[in-house]
């Protein structure tokens, strides 16, 4: 059936091209036909001018003779051009042979070379089997990291890097200090040292043993995936599966699970996972933005040609932050305007935390932002206040301490 359809299409196209070449006539007449009409119009105008008396009789006769002479010459040229145009020359036949050979022979020759004429049908079951093999035999974490380009040097203040070195030395001396490991893993990730970050996080997970939480495993997987340039390795998959065993509704693990399916030949499964997660997630969930940016393409790959991205609901409880419109506007701002916008968002967050309070993640975000902006005294004051607020919550206190380290505050 394939060869019949392509053969018929190629023949139809070739015939149409050959007819255009060999017909030899034009849709418009020759140029002389236009001249004939112009001369006739001129004769008519001379007649009218003569009747109105604007041209003398002798002058009118002379003009009529001259225009009539040109009219006869143009008529003879038009007839000769029409006869010549109706005939296809030898060049047309040569070109016709070349076109036919190119379309028919060249088209099928290219398909024979670049295509797969003998490829059998690929039933759905075989596609699933091939995807499973690809998933089972994909690159390891180490192989994926080896293909990554060298990381750019870290651009951080010297005093901050001094604190980081002290933290690394402290953890090296006391490798079972879980608070130190937590802080070091977060710090290495902040610096972009994701390989060091996930190795530190792996030690922390190992020390916690059965007490490791789903977040511990998703943090580990997240660092591994970023270190591999967005690739979900078998090792990262193992961490995600452990997170889902502890928390089947974990959004980070479900997001990366869908990404892994998309990377290993099962966009249909990945699409379903992302679609369910997107529709059940609050708009401020960290995975909502990446899903919305990619799910339409994934839907197309999965064969969901009628998929429409659901509208983004508004959340009144979402922390203040830049919207998509804010980010688009910031791209056109001057550095000073952009700095003012950032300062405004930081002030809004500070005022809301002062009046309404908020989770540890928002306090940590404020401390880090103030440190980046160079407002160390304010960051220190917020840090001291946050330690009092979360004094009885070890997990939240770890987030606050990690933010203080990123902001370069003294321990």
Q: What is the pTM of this model?
A: 0.53
Residue 236 to residue 234: CA distance in whole angstroms: 5
Residue 226 to residue 194: CA distance in whole angstroms: 7
Residue closest to 84 by CA, chosen among 38, 32, 37: 32
Alpha-carbon distance values, 371 to 180, 186, 336, 339, 386 (Å): 21, 16, 18, 14, 15
Domain boundaries, the chain: 2-114, 137-264, 325-406
Burial class (CB in 10 A: 0-12, 13-18, 19+), 57: exposed
Three-state SS annotation for 259-278: HHHHHCCCHHHHHHHHHHHH
Handedness of CA 227, 342, 350, 281 (dihedral sign): negative
Those residues with Cβ within 8 angstroms of residue 195's Cβ, 6 or more apart along the chain or in another chain:
145, 227
| CATH code given to domain 137-264 | 1.25.40.10
- Written as tens digits, the pLDDT of the chain (411 aa) is 777 888 888 888 888 888 777 765 444 455 556 677 787 888 888 888 888 888 888 888 888 888 888 878 777 776 665 555 555 556 677 777 888 888 888 887 787 777 776 666 667 777 778 888 888 889 999 999 999 887 776 677 888 889 889 999 999 999 999 999 999 999 998 888 999 999 999 999 999 999 999 999 999 999 999 999 999 999 999 999 999 999 999 999 999 999 999 999 899 999 999 999 999 988 888 898 899 999 999 999 999 888 988 887 654 444 444 444 554 555 556 656 656 666 777 788 888 888 778 888 888 888 888 877 778 888 888 888 888 888 877 778 878 888 888 777 876
Q: Return the structure tokens found at 260.
A: 């892994």
DSSP 285: -
DSSP 310: P
């Amino acid at each position: 059936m394939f060869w019949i359809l392509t053969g018929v299409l190629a023949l139809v196209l070739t015939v149409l091209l050959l007819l255009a070449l060999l017909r030899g006539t034009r849709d418009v007449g020759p140029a002389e036909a236009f001249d004939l009409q112009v001369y006739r119009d001129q004769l008519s105008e001379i007649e009218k001018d003569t009747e109105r008396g604007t041209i003398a009789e002798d002058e009118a006769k002379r003009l009529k003779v001259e225009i009539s002479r040109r009219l006869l010459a143009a008529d003879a040229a038009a007839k000769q051009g029409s006869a010549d145009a109706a005939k296809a020359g030898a060049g047309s036949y040569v070109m016709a042979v070349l076109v036919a050979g190119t379309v028919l022979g060249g088209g099928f020759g290219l398909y024979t070379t670049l295509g797969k004429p003998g490829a059998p049908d690929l039933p759905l079951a075989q596609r699933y089997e091939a995807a499973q093999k690809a998933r089972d035999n994909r690159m390891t974490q180490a192989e994926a990291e080896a293909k990554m380009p060298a990381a750019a040097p870290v651009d951080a203040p010297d005093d901050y890097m001094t604190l980081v070195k002290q933290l690394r030395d402290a953890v090296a001396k006391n490798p079972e200090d879980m608070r130190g490991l937590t802080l070091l893993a977060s710090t290495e990730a902040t610096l972009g040292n994701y390989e060091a970050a996930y190795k530190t996080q792996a030690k922390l997970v190992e020390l916690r043993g059965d007490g490791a939480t789903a977040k511990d495993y998703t943090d580990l997987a997240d660092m591994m995936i970023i270190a591999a340039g967005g690739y979900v390795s078998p090792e990262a998959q193992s961490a995600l599966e452990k997170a889902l065993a502890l928390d089947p509704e974990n959004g980070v693990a479900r997001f990366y699970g869908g990404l892994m399916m998309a990377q290993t030949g099962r966009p249909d499964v990945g699409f379903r996972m992302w679609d369910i997660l997107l529709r059940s997630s609050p708009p401020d969930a960290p995975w909502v933005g990446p899903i919305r940016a990619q799910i339409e393409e994934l839907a197309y790959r999965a064969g969901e040609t009628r998929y429409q991205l659901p509208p983004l609901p508004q959340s009144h409880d979402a922390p203040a932050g830049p919207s998509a419109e804010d980010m688009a506007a910031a791209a056109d701002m001057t550095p000073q305007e952009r700095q003012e916008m950032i300062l405004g968002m930081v002030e809004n967050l500070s005022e809301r935390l002062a009046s309404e309070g908020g989770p540890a993640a928002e306090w940590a975000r404020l401390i880090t932002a103030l440190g980046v902006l160079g407002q160390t005294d304010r960051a220190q004051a917020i840090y001291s206040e946050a330690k009092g607020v979360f004094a009885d919550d070890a997990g939240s206190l770890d987030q606050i301490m990690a933010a203080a380290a990123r902001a370069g505050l003294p321990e």
